[in-house]
Structure 1
Amino acid sequence: MKVFDDKHIKNVVFVGAHNSGKTTLAETMLFEAGLINRRGTIEDNNTVSDYHDIEHQRQASVFATPIHTEWRNYKINIIDTPGLDDFIGEIISSIRVGDTIATVINGKHGVEVGTEIIWNYIDKYNKPTLFIINQIDHPDCNFEDAFRSIKTLVGNNVAQIQYPIKLGGAQCIIDVLKMKCYKFGPEGGKPEKLEIPDFEKAKAETLHNELVEKAAENDEELMELYFDKGTLNEDEMRQGIKAGMLNHDLFPVFCVSALQDMGSGRLMGFIDNVAPAAANLKPEQSLEGEEIVPKPSADTSLFVFKTLYQPNLGQITFFKVKSGEININDRLTNSRTGETEVINQLFIMDGKNREPVNKLSTGDIGASLKLKDTETNDTLYSGSKPITIKPIQYPEPRINKAVTASNKADEEKLSDALRKIHKQDPTVVINYSKESKEQVLGCQGELHLAIIDMTLKNDYKIVAQYEKPKIKYRETIQRSSTANYRHKKQSGGSGQFAQVHLKIEPWFDGMPDPEGFNIRGKEEVDLPWGGKLVFYNCIVGGVIDARYIPSVMKGVLEVMEEGPLTGSFIRDVRVMVYDGKMHPVDSNDISFKIAGAHAFKEAFLNANPKLLEPTNELTVKVPEDMVGNVMTDLQSRRSIIQGFDNLEHYQILKCTIPAAELFDYSTDLRSLTQGKATFSSKFSSYQPVPNNIQKQLVKEEV
């Protein structure tokens, strides 16, 4: 296969809402370039990019799939992404390695919720972006409304390059960059190039002049030329458009019918001639503070943006060459592990098809098989200086489920399968809670969970069960209390004896040492589950030998690991051991541990014990006209509203909410707002549980 240099490689990521036509457009571009003989369809399950069984079952993209085409001596790498935000991990990782983001808009609907969510990530990464209004030949297409919706999304920097018209019943596209009219036959394909009809010339000239001004604004030399000549030629306009795209200040808009192969060739020509290549992008900074220069002559660095497991192949590792060149049998260092990886195989991937290559240059996207210890987000590099490329930041899970295997014999197999799924999709988060003794699966939504479940059944032959995770409550006290306990056991020979008197109090940061005690020793324990135990040895007169005091504290800690109310961890208590008795023969460590545990438990139950619940900081981005419904729902979930921020036609609502009330919130919010609201949450603090709920929880434990 021909090796392309960094100036002739274009990496384009197709993003857009569900059913916008990304997969169909990618298929059409492959066909137009002659890389496939016939176009597959989603309905027939034979497109190049949607090749997984799950995608065939759902007839929708689930995975981001790299493919490539060639057009006029340029190589165009395309990554076809899913349209649903349940698979946002696939979308984000693709945006991260794209040089140009092609946002496909359904001409019948305009900018949809999914597009808005994706745009937030495009904007965050400051990526060059163009828009493609699809289905222009559909009777329900409203190009003007779709264009206005793009303008609402990105602002006045949107630049209209094309618009559709009908001419004698034929579908045409007016191109105001080239000032030509492209007329298509009923089956699309190569158009007839015509002069712009007289009745469209005024509109086309107006749009052309607007495009000239927008192109000139992005380059000082072009601006001077524009002032001198009053216009720019086509090459100068291309230069200005590219500069605007690189600055994330200009967003060209094209129109196509992907299904009927109308406009795809012109789109590929623009990608070749104007869309930025890796060589045009600004150098990145490594985490070590070094500049990663996108040149073939630099040290090699690869960024791994995707991992895929296939039953017949094992692990496939997808990467972008950020600098230098990669050849078969090159030895590279993994910056995370320090281990050496040998690139024994090198491929260009087109869906499920692998095309072996010997070499890839800066800017290209490729894959390798069976790397021993390399995962998504890793950097592989040559040279003596470590290079670590800034990793992708994935969103936190929006739903969490306790997951178990229906067949208990499959538990270990389930854990191994979930680890592989996490490596393939980092938005799938797996944690084992020692506290609740359950494996918790976090993901992006109910559809995401359904895909994970199908993967477990189809690829790993595991049937799993999903339940509401246990809430990690805490127990504490609200007042002081004293107790004593005598442990005495005699069963022939040496017995057991210990008596412990202690006082407990609520602890808070900065409180002074207790008064009225002769403090002989103090130990502060930062508890693994949060909070503190502050333990005082206040024994006088030797009534308990100092060597037994640690055993008393062990007994206290043992109870704190399984509180008397609900079996939850206890926190923020201080204990003063001030009296007791021992026996010269029968006293020992175990006796004082038992006595300390019983005394502490008795004192705890008499100290007005209180259950604490985890609360989260919740941020909800919701359209202004839907705030009332969201507020009503949040109030029913015991939330406390902290404030609002305005963001264009959205409200950013901030509140604290009990973690127990967030179960199923993702599904309910989507239902309340037709999917238009998004949210994020993170742990905030532990707060007292209302008395009625505490009584119910304690009753459930009895």
Structure 2
Amino acid sequence: MKVYQTNEIKNISILGSSGSGKTTLAEAMLFEGGVIKRRGTVEAGNTVSDYFPVEKDYGYSVFSTVFSVEWNGLKLNFIDCPGSDDFIGGAVSALNVTDTALMVINAQYGVEVGTINQFRYTEQFHKPVIFVVNQLDNDKADFDNTVHQLRENYGAKAVQIQYPVQTGAAFNAVVDVLKMKMYRWKPEGGKPDVLDIPAEELDKATELHKALVEAAAEHDDTLMEKFFEEGTLSEDDMRAGIRAGLVSRGMFPIFCVCAGKDMCVRRTLEFLGNVVPCTDKMPRPVTTEGIEVTADPAGPTSLFFFKTTIEPHIGQVSYFKVVSGKVKVGDDLTNADRGSKERIAQLFAVDGQIRSEVSEMEAGDIGATVKLKDVRRGNTLNGKGCEYRFDFIKYPEPKFRRAIKPVNEADAEKLSEILSRMHEEDPTWIVEQSKELKQTIVSGQGEFHLRTLKWRIENNDKLAIEFLEPKIPYRETITKSARADYRHKKQSGGAGQFGEVHLIIEPYYEGMPAPGTYRFGGQEYRMNVRDTQVYDLEWGGKLVFVNCIVGGAIDARFLPAILKGIMGRMEQGPLTGSYARDVRVCVYDGKMHPVDSNEISFMLAGRNAFSTAFRDAAPKILEPIYDIEVLVPGDYLGDVMSDLQGRRALIMGMNSERGCEKLMAKVPLKEMSSYSTSLSSITGGRASFTMKFSGYELVPTDVQEKLLKEYAATQTEE
């Protein structure tokens, strides 16, 4: 493959809901571009895109796939992204390194929740969008309704370039209102016959052509003046206007395609080649230091690595975008993130698992290399004198979690290594070794996402594992003041141990006044504050330690030991063994022995005094609460709301968003365990949700009683 110049390269993401036909479209594009001689099918498991065993087994995309098509002297780099919301990480990575999004829509279903979710990311990254309405040969295809939904959601920016003469089994022709021609295909698809528009379609085509001309003129002042003077625009003028509209996101062109029969794919490639902006015409990426980097082949060499995979017989394959300069085989580069040196031994242009060696790549191009020593996804490699570093990919919060362990405990270390490697391949798999819960927790975007993880570990790595219900990271706190004292005294023939601590504890909140006077059992205790220390606990909340000792009852050198004893007890609360938080402790009195007092004595005295007071301070259990947003078609809103209320959810509000309903709620983590599965079941897979940690709140009394019984039972068993 020849070396393409920066102004000959276009980078495009292929997005769309599951079942929209992205992989089939990719296959048709590769065929039309001459990359493959025969089109594969998803059903046969022989497509270029879905080449991993897990994808062939499941029948749809799990990973994003890079491929390219040479078209009219240009290199069109594509990244075919998974449609399932569970694998959204692939789309997020792709949109960060491509310049345009091709949004594929299933003509049977129109604008789906998946379409809306992925379109949100194009908004976030300010990427041009082209809508491609696919599967027009399906009996349930409804092109007009799909266009209506697009305009309902995205307004007048959704502009038709084409429309089908008819849909369903008889689909074989489209009218192109940019070219003002009709394209008609033979049953085998491929190259069409280009015909004049039939008389019966001319009025409709002319009306849509005028709308397209006006839309194209809107985005360029020169074109607008020309339009006012001449009343129309040439085809080249219209292309320039559409290109300007794409870059500003002021226009979203609508195309027709039947990927399965290879109809209108060639025309779509032609439009992408003629109209979509090249990478050097798009907004420039920004380094972590705030420097804008131009896609200039004469600039310093800088590569950003956005994806890694582990492939049989090869090992790690690292995918990159040349952000600046050019990279050649044999170049020595420095990892800006890890400080290590790397040599580029091989460079590849990639079409799925097909790799073609190239000698160099210029700024804007996307390629791959192998056998790098110390490069991870998200790293930047730079040439001599260049210090760029990029960190622009931010992934969504996980939504589904499970504890994971090997069936054979002896394989624990092996499992840890596998999970670490798989996180590199898919960063939306989050792995946490929880000291608190004494479990390995793996989190992802949904049940299917984690089921895929399990499939790969068991089938590729031959390691049997099991998923368990994860424990909930509860917290314990107190709701009233309490007082306690404890004397630790031990005599065993040699040196003795003696320490006595008197303390008062109370719930802590921001801005509370300094300790004053307390009354317990008819007796008054007045605090004389000498020193206050505030500790931010690593598990959230605070411990405030107040020294109120007067008259030297306890030597100051023993206060750290008392604090250590209290902190140790807060790490294992008395109710359920969970971390305690938000407590103020006033140590106001005690006793010591001139010989037998030592640090261990006061640590134990502080620990036990605190434990006794905690139990008397009306302790309560706190549970983690999450903010969730559910995007659901209106038909299912009532069922979804009822299900949430059954999960102790507090509905915070709702509004409409582009043809769907958005429901906001606060829900305890405990109730979200299998929510993604339930939501999919209720809505037939047509809803999605996001969740984000909000804070901790008191559990209801009945829930607390149940938790106390469960904890007591585990303690008895132990």
TM-score between the two structures when normalised by the length of structure 2: 0.93
Aligned to 1:442: 443
User: Is 1:672 paired with 2:674?
Assistant: no
1:528 to 534, 538, 543: 538
In 2, the alpha carbon distance for the partners of 1:639 and 1:137 equals 43
Q: SS at the partner of 1:291? A: coil
Q: Is the 8 A contact 1:378 1:391 kept in 2?
A: no
Partner of 2:156: 156
Specify the SS of the correspondent of 1:63. Answer: coil
Q: CA deviation at 1:445?
A: 0.6
Contact 1:500/1:595 (8 A) holds in 2: yes
Mapped to 1, the partners of 2:619 and 2:25 lie a distance apart of: 64
Q: 1:398 aligns to what?
A: 399
Determine if the alignment matches structure 1 residue 413 to structure 2 residue 414. Answer: yes
Q: Which of 644, 649, 664 in structure 2 is aligned with 1:654? A: 664
Label 1:278 to 1:480 Cα distance change in 2 as closer, same or farther (>3 A).
Answer: same
Amino acid at match of 1:514: G
Give secondary structure in 2 for the equivalent of 1:259: helix
Report what 2:299 is aligned to.
298
Q: Closer, same or farther in 2 for the Cα pair 1:26/1:640, shift >3 Å? A: closer
Q: Percent identity?
A: 48
Aligned to 1:51, what secondary structure does the other structure show?
A: coil
Alignment partner of 1:156: what SS? helix
- Residues 104 and 640 from structure 1, CA distance in 2 versus in 1: closer, same or farther, beyond 3 angstroms? closer
| Partner residue, 1:363 | 364
Gaps of 5+ in 1: none
Distance in 2 separating the partners of 1:493 and 1:285 = 69
Deviations 1:317-348 (A, max 9, x none): 11112222111122333332333332222111
**d(CA) in 2 for partners of 1:677, 1:527:** 38
Question: Could you give the per-residue CA deviations for residues 380-423 of structure 1, whole angstroms, max 9, x where no partner exists?
Answer: 23353522335111100011111111111111111111111111
| Paired residue secondary structure (1:461) | coil
* Alpha-carbon distance, 1:645 to partner: 4.3
Distance between the aligned counterparts of 2:704 and 2:329, measured in 1?
A: 64
Partner of 1:697: 707
Partner of 2:457: 456
Cα gap change, 1:149 to 1:506, in 2 (>3 Å) = closer
| 1:317 counterpart residue number | 318
Residues 1:606 and 2:616 are matched in the alignment:
yes
The number of equivalent residue pairs is 702
Contact 1:170 1:185 in 2 (8 A): no
Distance 1:412 1:381 in 2: 34
Asked if residue 249 in structure 1 is aligned to residue 250 in structure 2, the reply is: yes
Matched residue, 2:580: 570
Alpha-carbon distance in 2 for matches of 1:253, 1:522: 66
**Per-residue deviation, residues 59-105 of structure 1 (Å, max 9, x unmatched):** 21111111112122222222222121111001121122222211222
Q: Which residue of 2 aligns with 1:512?
A: 514
Q: AA paired with 1:674?
A: G
Contact 1:113–1:675 (Cα < 8 Å) also in 2:
no
Q: Which moved more, 1:245-254 or 1:626-635?
A: 626-635
Report the AA paired with residue 361 of structure 2: L
SS in 1 for 2:306: strand
Write the deviation string for residues 241-285 of structure 1: whole angstroms up to 9, x where unpaired: 111111111122222222222222222111111111112213233
1:590–1:625 Cα change, 3 Å: same
Worse-matched range after superposition: 251-260 or 491-500: 491-500
1:44 is matched with: 44
Q: Structure 2: which 5+ residue stretches go unaligned?
A: 518-525, 713-718
Displacement of 1:521: 4.5
Give 1:235's aligned residue: 236
Which residue matches 2:108?
108
- Which segment drifts farther, 499-508 or 455-464? 499-508
Counterpart CA distance in 2 for 1:189 and 1:520 is: 86
Q: Which amino acid aligns with 2:130?
A: L
Structure 1 residues 323 and 536: alpha-carbon distance in aligned structure 2, compared to 1, 3 A threshold: closer
Letter of the 1:146 counterpart: T
The verdict on how the C-alpha distance between 1:540 and 1:11 changes in structure 2, with shifts beyond 3 A counting, is closer
Alpha-carbon distance in 2 for matches of 1:213, 1:542? 87
Other structure's SS at 2:666 match: strand
Q: Deviations over 1:604-649 (max 9, x none)?
A: 2122222222222333334445443333333322233333444344
Give CA-to-partner distance per residue, 1:110-133, whole Å, 9 cap, x none. 222322221111222221221222
Structure 1 residue 7 and structure 2 residue 17: aligned? no
The C-alpha deviation readout for 1:151-179, integer Å capped at 9, x for no partner, is 23322122222222269978222222222
Relative distance call for 1:240 and 1:433 in structure 2 (3 A) is: same
- Relative distance call for 1:541 and 1:126 in structure 2 (3 A) is closer
TM-superposed CA distance for 1:150, in Å, is 2.6
Q: CA offsets per residue over residues 272-319 of structure 1, 9 Å max, x none?
A: 111111122132333322221122122222222211112322211111
In 2: Cα distance, 1:253 partner to 1:150 partner: 9
Task: Give the superposition deviation at 1:556.
Answer: 2.0
1:541 Cα offset (Å): 4.5
Q: Name the SS for the 2:189 alignment partner.
A: coil
Q: In the aligned structure 1, how far is the partner of 2:632 from the partner of 2:44?
A: 38
Q: Distance in 2 between matches of 1:606 and 1:338?
A: 55
In the other structure, the counterpart of 1:683 is 693
Residue 543 of structure 1 and its aligned partner are, at CA, apart by: 4.3
Q: Match for residue 331 of structure 1?
A: 332
Superposition map of 1:272-287 within 5 A:
272-287=273-288
Relative distance call for 1:253 and 1:508 in structure 2 (3 A) is closer
d(CA) in 1 for partners of 2:180, 2:270: 15
Match of 2:172, SS state, is: strand
Work out whether residues 128 and 276 of structure 1, in 8 Å CA contact, stay in contact via their aligned partners in 2: no
Tell me the distance in 1 between the aligned counterparts of 2:528 and 2:172: 95
SS of the aligned residue for 1:150 comes to helix
2:632–2:688 CA contact under 8 A, matched in 1: yes
The one-letter code of the counterpart of 2:572 is E
C-alpha distance in structure 2 between counterparts of 1:169 and 1:16, whole Å: 25
List per-residue Cα deviations over 1:636-664 (Å, max 9, x = no partner).
22233333444344444333332222222
Question: Residue in 2 aligned with 1:261?
Answer: 262
CA apart distance, 1:367? 0.5
Q: How does 1:80-99 map to 2 (within 5 A)?
A: 80-99=80-99
Note the C-alpha offset of 1:497: 3.0
Superposed CA RMSD in Å reads: 2.3
Structure 1 position 567, deviation (Å): 0.9
Is this contact kept in 1: 2:14–2:104, CA < 8 A? yes
Give CA deviations for 1:204-250 in whole Å, capped at 9, x if unaligned.
22222222111111111111111111111111111111111111111
Is the partner of 1:54 in helix, strand or coil? helix
Alignment of 1:56-135 (within 5 A): 56-135=56-135
CA distance in 1, matches of 2:685, 2:268: 31
Residue 643 (structure 1) aligned with residue 653 (structure 2): yes
Distance 1:305 1:430 in 2: 20
Whole-Å separation in 1 of the counterparts to 2:336 and 2:48: 34
TM-score by length of 1: 0.95
Whether the aligned pair in 2 keeps the contact of 1:496 and 1:587 (CA below 8 Å) is yes
Q: Distance in 2 between matches of 1:78 and 1:386?
A: 28
Q: What SS is found at the alignment partner of 1:508?
A: coil
Contact 2:569–2:607 (CA<8 Å) still a contact in 1?
yes
Contact persistence 2:153–2:659 (CA under 8 A): no
Cα-to-partner distance string for 1:427-476 (whole Å, 9 max, x where unaligned): 11111221112111110011111111111112222222212221122222
Corresponding position of 1:488: 489
Q: Secondary structure at the match of 2:454?
A: helix
- For residues 529 and 120 of structure 2, the distance between their equivalents in structure 1, rounded to whole angstroms, comes to 59
Q: Which residue of the partner structure matches residue 522 of structure 2?
A: none
